[in-house]
Structure 1
């Protein structure tokens, strides 16, 4: 392991990995498992990391691939997934909180996985479009499109949760 990066550089990325994993999974335990699996895979496959390249992007790529593999495995094991929109009326909302963090987390989890991943990598991890494209394995244009759709959908979801209780503004009338 003479060409392996120092362990301190790997350890320095753990908070970023945990933050992204928690945002991806929506669950602390699952996030910790995902980070652990990512670190194990990174240690097993140091020879695949190109020395001098961005270690953070490589780790995020490993995490992204593990998350996608886990999601696919869960679909195969569970059978069919039910979209949240289909059972939204049956779900019980939590008690209103003074802050919007619960609403944001719930709205983030309602985004499609591909959009949520791109949104989190760009906004939470402050990665560039090219890095996100490399991590997710899609073209830069697709990253930009997914990001735009994710931001729009998140805005709709957040506004929808606030405007349900508030009366809607009357539409403008045309006068001659």
Structure 2
């Protein structure tokens, strides 16, 4: 089982960090995902993608975590603050561009943000994204298109129509 799941863990961590924007909570989410997968390994379909199955579990747990955090409020972990202050700082221009993209992605509606992260960051197919999020492929395509367009508008400089060079189509 570790031979199957091991190579997928970095992808789970990336997606969890992108969804939660908290490294410690993301690692906890990945651990919860793996615990749930191990407990339900017998329910896994042999003909289906293990990666899509694990991302589906992570996605559902992330939604539950975000709902719980919205009800309770969010606390900042001391470890996360120390980690960010000790990190190597990117160049000023790259840091500003990265900050702008992260802010723009955070402004997207959750359904558009989730699909954009799955497809652009994790490289899953439209069909896998549909399976993970539980919506039809056509809905994935339309939400992704609306999300990309909204992101272009958010990143556009005043007077420009869109910021196409900063984005690339994955599929």
**Which is richer in helix?**
2
1:36 is the counterpart of 2:31:
yes
Moved beyond 3 Å, runs of 4+: 75-78
Aligned match of 1:104 in 101, 105, 114?
Answer: 101
Q: Is the 8 A contact 1:111 1:153 kept in 2?
A: yes
Structure 2, unpaired ranges of 5+: 74-90, 161-171
Counterpart for residue 139 of structure 1: 136
Deviation string for 1:73-98 (max 9, x for gaps)? Answer: 233445xxxxxxxxxxxxxxxxx931
Counterpart for residue 59 of structure 1: 54
1:1-176 equivalent positions in 2, closer than 5 A: 6-78=1-73, 97-99=92-94, 100-159=97-156, 162-163=157-158, 168=159
Aligned alpha-carbon RMSD (Å): 1.7
Number of aligned pairs? 141
Q: Is the 8 A contact 1:26 1:109 kept in 2?
A: no
Counterpart for residue 91 of structure 1: none
Structure 1, unpaired ranges of 5+: 1-5, 79-95, 170-176
Q: Which has the larger radius of gyration?
A: 1
Q: Is the 8 A contact 2:119 2:125 kept in 1?
A: yes
